[in-house]
Structure 1
């Protein structure tokens, strides 16, 4: 079987554009030429991938099965080309870093600042996701060169632990009968309302697990997908928020508490294969520079409880 990456690109473009006419315009080729290439791909794969309708195209069952593999193959090829250029000493282009929304807010800025001092011409493209499972799937599909996130179970490639992310409880000033910096049993917060997260966010699982271990389900006040929004909502008195301590800025003037038992999330940096020299430099930078629990949080709450 001979399937070219160019044919996969043609197939993906037709799907994304919704028609052969628009896809041909995007690709800068004739519509008959594009149709010929898709037909050749369908012959190689053993059946039709697209149903030609009067004003649009629709994926066949075979097409729906083939599409994610086509996207993954194209992404792998692009990442391999980029890695080869970097390994050859070409220090321009992009490094694609997969991560979670909360980590791109709290953990990455310092490490990226350090790393870019050595590679100022190399751009960074953050590929961000709300849930750990989406991040792992994207890495497996070749959507990024390196990932920074919760330690993935049973990862086959290189993986280095960079620290443990501590979660804190944020609230409006004087919203709770506890002094700022206190360690509070989760069970004592069962009657409180919480800023919850959308089901799509992995932070939703963390809040549900923390409350569930204390024997209650969190009472919902509002849902958000972003931990930064949860912090603002908690400061405004909308409800309590459980969130990574590293996203809390030094000037936060609300109440911060440490949950008991502690809520911790191990973080790692990982790749699919042995990283090229520039990607390895990024791994080293984030391993050295990452401060998972920042000093202004430990000043308020004391050293993290393991």
Structure 2
């Protein structure tokens, strides 16, 4: 089998841009060249990888091969960047970074300021991702770096960039809104609304620590929808303290007992060599006052 990087780039672009014309524009190719290149790949694979629909979607074979194509292209980008950096120590190739929504609002702005100071030529493109998707995106090559939450085991070379804690989210007119701290059991009188986007597992652990059954009234996938429902007075919630910047004026955070914290770690992938700019990014992040602890 003779598969080229160009074929893989076309395959990924058609899937990501959901069509041949939009992929051609992104790749600066003609649409006929995109179609021909993908057809050549499919002949080599003895099977179609993309459904010719609107929008274009991967076939079953395409779904299997897509993460490998992304990882191969990411490794190739890192290879090129490492070769260039070897000859030019000031070279900084652009990289992509996946972050959870709460970190995108509550942590990323300060990190970007730090990176702009120490690496003014480095272009970092952030992608907000559901917590459960972040590690998958990192390992399949969708992004070059990520901020992971409580990674186990700790990624070698990663950097601990922040710690926050889980707190109650209530309306500002709620009886508990003015308390300095409350017990998790104090929330039992209200419906508990939970987002399934990465927070259900830690909330189960928090309830276990408090000796309270975990019985959410309603599960909501999107964090923005959860906040809207809390704002409407439909219940109470529990979110990390970094979510404070996302809250409307009608909602507030109240510290909880027992204390449950989460660690946020900036890292590259565990299954392939890092892009050189990721290494530079982590080195620059270590300059943040009070932050920056290398992982073992």
Per the normalisation by structure 1, the TM-score is 0.73
Counterpart for residue 75 of structure 2 = 76
Equivalent residues of 2:81, 2:276 under 8 A apart:
no
CA displacement 1:15-69 (0-9 Å, x = unmatched): 55667677667753473x6555445433433x12258879997755433322332
Shift in Å at residue 136 of structure 1? Answer: 0.9
Shift in Å at residue 181 of structure 1? Answer: 1.3
Q: Residue 193 of structure 1: SS of its match in structure 2?
A: coil
Cα distance in structure 1, aligned partners of 2:273 and 2:25 = 39
Describe the shift of the 1:170–1:6 C-alpha distance in structure 2 as closer, same or farther (beyond 3 A): same
Counterpart for residue 107 of structure 2 = 107
Describe the shift of the 1:174–1:181 C-alpha distance in structure 2 as closer, same or farther (beyond 3 A): same
Q: Please tell me the root mean square deviation across aligned C-alpha atoms, in Å.
A: 3.9
Describe the shift of the 1:290–1:180 C-alpha distance in structure 2 as closer, same or farther (beyond 3 A): farther
Shift in Å at residue 129 of structure 1? Answer: 0.9
Shift in Å at residue 214 of structure 1? Answer: 1.6
Equivalent residues of 1:181, 1:258 under 8 A apart:
yes
Counterpart for residue 2 of structure 1 = 2
Flag structure 2 segments of 5+ consecutive residues without an equivalent.
Answer: 292-296
Q: Residue 169 of structure 1: SS of its match in structure 2?
A: strand
Equivalent residues of 2:163, 2:264 under 8 A apart:
yes
Cα distance in structure 1, aligned partners of 2:93 and 2:152 = 31
Per the normalisation by structure 2, the TM-score is 0.75
Equivalent residues of 2:15, 2:50 under 8 A apart:
no
How many residue pairs were aligned?
284
Shift in Å at residue 11 of structure 1? Answer: 3.0
Q: Which piece of structure 1 moves more, 104-113 or 51-60?
A: 51-60
CA displacement 1:267-288 (0-9 Å, x = unmatched): 2121136656653343244345
Equivalent of residue 219 in structure 1, options 217, 220, 239:
217
Describe the shift of the 1:39–1:280 C-alpha distance in structure 2 as closer, same or farther (beyond 3 A): closer
The answer as to 2:125 corresponding to 1:119 is no
The answer as to 2:239 corresponding to 1:243 is yes
Flag structure 1 segments of 5+ consecutive residues without an equivalent.
Answer: 293-306
Q: Residue 96 of structure 1: SS of its match in structure 2?
A: strand
